[in-house]
Structure 1
Amino acid sequence: MAIHQLPDGRWKVDVEPIKGKRFRKTFKTKGEAQRFESTCRSKVIVDADWSPRPTDARRLTDLVGSWFDLHGHSLRDGERRRSKLDQLARRLGNPRAAKLDPQAYAHDRRVRLGQGVSPKTLNNELGYLRSVYNELRGLGVISYANPLALVKPLKLQERELSWLTTEQIAELLQAIRSGCDNPHVEIIVLICLATGARWSEAEKLKPTGLRNGVITFSGTKSGKVRSVPISAELAAKIVRHWKQHGQPNSAITSFRRALSRTTIKLPKGQAAHALRHTFASHFIQNGGNILTLQKILGHSSLAMTMRYAHLAPDHLQDAIRLGPLSSAATPVG
């Protein structure tokens, strides 16, 4: 019975309106007990917070699909992200999304690391998966916490930024001019060296992007438009090239072949990007301002640009002037 009288005359309520929600309380009068019982029963019906939520049985691929429909489709790389997330879900056995086991995820990451997948790629995937949970929770699609919230990304070993010396630039251009099978390679390389553009940005440059000696890049990695002035000589060369050869096509393979014919050795994955590093490195070594460089490269964070700060002339001179061998009392040799 929900309400019964105790030997001492008080009235006890023991009610379970729905399974899992039980309420017990003692009152002096039967009327108080009845009102409490009635309140408990009505609260369960009216207030969702009093009712146990149904188990969320959706699988990880279901969440990925919802994320794509509600948010991912608006991202430039949304389709690519969705493909990677679906692959990750399948490797994990497509578990119930609410019960994703951080240990299972960490084990999969360890296996892939042993297979040669780069730590940066694995960190990107972790960020993508976290974003699915965070975005859907913000939209009210899920109510539980991100199961990977406390999983730490892998520590990355900072790679040395490879850049070309003046002599290496001349050697590269000579290799391109003497035997390159794609006429667009040279002009793309020159644009990258003159503006610090990424290869894809220079390759996709259209005639409307060159006006009055200023190149304007759109469709960039950051999504922002940026403009960089170039010399009149290079501007004229670009216009002549377009008239003679038309718009550039995919030329990265031809560039790599030309690079392989030189004595230049670059770390894996830095072939074309070394041109961007070359612009930035020479800019700083020649006395350029780090904030100006940030704007030219289109970095959203100054921390990215600060990777080149150690090449500043005053920094290099300080190494000589302030080092332990600078004292006259410390002879060299």
Structure 2
Amino acid sequence: RQWWLAYTIDRERVQKAIGPYKAIAELAKKDIEVQMAKQRAGLALVDRKLSEYIPQFLSHIRLHTKPSTAKRYVQVIGHLSDFLDALEDPPSKLSRISPPIIEQYKFHRIELVKPQTVNYELTCLHRFFRYACEMNYIKENPIQSIKKISKPKRKAPRFLAKEEITNLLRCCGTKHYLEETVKLLLNTGMRWGELRALEWNDIDWNEKVLHIRIKEDWNPKGGERKVPINKSVEEILRMLLKEKRNRWILTTSTGSQIRHSRTWERFRQACQKAGIENVTLHSLRHTFASHLVMAGVDLASVSKLLGHKDISTTMIYSHLSQDHLRSAVERLEF
């Protein structure tokens, strides 16, 4: 003989096979009655459907984060949804997403993207499930026990030697302001996105600084900061000012904001012509920092110029400092 429990919860009819023993069936019945009483009193977990919870969470994220972060969350939740839908038995409710499922997701994603991307997605999903816990939808966060992927030891960044810089500038040509773009990046250490977003009212000619600041449609990665203008940068800016087409400092021939794809392609061609390999536009930022360190500038100052939130990020250049300190000491002859 088989004992069954039949009840309605969240407007859904549920039937469960309990087993051949009446006493166990009665205990199970009492447990369900307690759970239903807690729910009526607002004390029980409300097991929400994913289709209902995801829009709720994304609305919460849009309200409490900047647009670029919210956009990233939309992408991450989309990746998770696609993965769950492809499972043999897709979970329809939050409570059915277990640590083993998240572990499967982690191994699935590592086949497609870099380890640091997977780790970032796990951080986003931790918040996704933490909010569900706060809303009393689930009891425990399934991400809690999931370990992130160990980061490989970071390689020393590629930077250009002085001879390479000379060759690169010679091969930039005179069109599309590529030479000016390269010089600005080399002399300021700005990120590409910071240079692209730079406007004429961001220049303080008297104080001789560039203001990296938040715009209506853009936020600087390292936060707002001031970047000193040296003589080379000032000359370039004053030359560009004579040809001012729009509010942006660097524009296309039609006055629109420059694009990364076009600038990168022209930069790649110039590097190829100069015989320079394994560099990107970001390598110019590494070149700025590396030559400062080799010139004896302390890491704290370099960190501030680069806009690093944590000086540990700047430590990738520390070996250059040690090499040049050793070289300086070797000049002593007592």
Residue matched to 2:151: 156
Residue matched to 2:297: 288
Following superposition, the deviation at residue 154 of structure 1 comes to 1.1
2:188 is matched with which residue: 183, 195, 199? Answer: 195
Following superposition, the deviation at residue 320 of structure 1 comes to 10
Q: Please tell me whether the aligned partners of residues 56 and 98 of structure 1 are also in contact (alpha carbons under 8 angstroms).
A: yes
For structure 1, list consecutive stretches of 5 or more residues without a partner in the other structure.
1-15, 24-42, 323-333
Q: Please tell me whether the aligned partners of residues 194 and 212 of structure 2 are also in contact (alpha carbons under 8 angstroms).
A: yes
What TM-score does the superposition give when structure 1 sets the normalisation length? 0.72
CA RMSD in angstroms, aligned pairs only: 3.1
Structure 1 runs (4+) greater than 3 angstroms displaced: 43-49, 61-64, 135-138, 140-143, 219-223, 314-322
1:146 to 2:158 alignment: no
Q: Please tell me whether the aligned partners of residues 57 and 131 of structure 2 are also in contact (alpha carbons under 8 angstroms).
A: yes
Residue matched to 1:208: 201
1:71 to 2:61 alignment: yes
2:267 is matched with which residue: 251, 255, 263? Answer: 255
Structure 1 residues 137 and 283, CA gap change in structure 2 (3 angstroms): farther
Following superposition, the deviation at residue 175 of structure 1 comes to 1.4
Following superposition, the deviation at residue 75 of structure 1 comes to 2.1
1:58 to 2:49 alignment: yes
Q: How far apart, CA to CA, are the structure 2 residues paired with 1:67 and 1:141? A: 13
Residue matched to 1:244: 243
Q: Which AA in structure 2 matches 1:211?
A: D
Q: How far apart, CA to CA, are the structure 2 residues paired with 1:143 and 1:101? A: 11
Q: Which moved more, 1:212-221 or 1:197-206?
A: 212-221
Q: How far apart, CA to CA, are the structure 2 residues paired with 1:45 and 1:123? A: 36
Residue matched to 1:130: 126
1:113 to 2:147 alignment: no
Determine helix, strand or coil for the equivalent of 1:162: coil
Structure 1 residues 104 and 320, CA gap change in structure 2 (3 angstroms): farther
Following superposition, the deviation at residue 221 of structure 1 comes to 3.6
Q: How far apart, CA to CA, are the structure 2 residues paired with 1:319 and 1:92? A: 57
Q: Please tell me whether the aligned partners of residues 171 and 274 of structure 2 are also in contact (alpha carbons under 8 angstroms).
A: yes
Q: How far apart, CA to CA, are the structure 1 residues paired with 2:110 and 2:39? A: 51
Residue matched to 2:73: 81
Deviations 1:262-313 (A, max 9, x none): 32211xxx6111111111111111111211112111111111111111211x
Q: How far apart, CA to CA, are the structure 2 residues paired with 1:171 and 1:80? A: 39
Structure 1 residues 320 and 184, CA gap change in structure 2 (3 angstroms): closer
Deviations 1:77-132 (A, max 9, x none): 212320232122221226322321332332233234334x2112212211211122
Determine helix, strand or coil for the equivalent of 2:226: strand
Q: How far apart, CA to CA, are the structure 2 residues paired with 1:152 and 1:54? A: 26
Q: Which moved more, 1:80-89 or 1:194-203?
A: 80-89
Q: Please tell me whether the aligned partners of residues 280 and 293 of structure 1 are also in contact (alpha carbons under 8 angstroms).
A: yes
Deviations 1:222-269 (A, max 9, x none): 362111111234213213224326342112332223223232211xxx
Q: Please tell me whether the aligned partners of residues 176 and 186 of structure 1 are also in contact (alpha carbons under 8 angstroms).
A: yes
What TM-score does the superposition give when structure 2 sets the normalisation length? 0.72
Determine helix, strand or coil for the equivalent of 2:210: strand
Residue matched to 2:10: none
Determine helix, strand or coil for the equivalent of 1:92: helix
Q: How far apart, CA to CA, are the structure 1 residues paired with 2:105 and 2:211? A: 43
Q: Please tell me whether the aligned partners of residues 160 and 284 of structure 2 are also in contact (alpha carbons under 8 angstroms).
A: yes
User: Which one has the largest radius of gyration?
Assistant: 1
Q: Please tell me whether the aligned partners of residues 102 and 142 of structure 2 are also in contact (alpha carbons under 8 angstroms).
A: no
Q: How far apart, CA to CA, are the structure 1 residues paired with 2:226 and 2:60? A: 33
1:99 to 2:92 alignment: no
Q: How far apart, CA to CA, are the structure 2 residues paired with 1:162 and 1:20? A: 64
Q: Which AA in structure 2 matches 1:19?
A: K
Q: Please tell me whether the aligned partners of residues 63 and 132 of structure 1 are also in contact (alpha carbons under 8 angstroms).
A: no
Deviations 1:204-224 (A, max 9, x none): 211111112211112354362
| Percent identity of equivalent pairs | 23
1:265 to 2:260 alignment: no
Q: Please tell me whether the aligned partners of residues 162 and 274 of structure 1 are also in contact (alpha carbons under 8 angstroms).
A: yes
Q: Please tell me whether the aligned partners of residues 163 and 278 of structure 1 are also in contact (alpha carbons under 8 angstroms).
A: yes
| Residue correspondences, number | 275
Q: Please tell me whether the aligned partners of residues 211 and 225 of structure 2 are also in contact (alpha carbons under 8 angstroms).
A: yes
Deviations 1:159-214 (A, max 9, x none): 33111111111111111126xx5x23222222211111101111221111111221
User: Which has the bigger relative contact order, CA under 8 A and spacing at least 6?
Assistant: 2
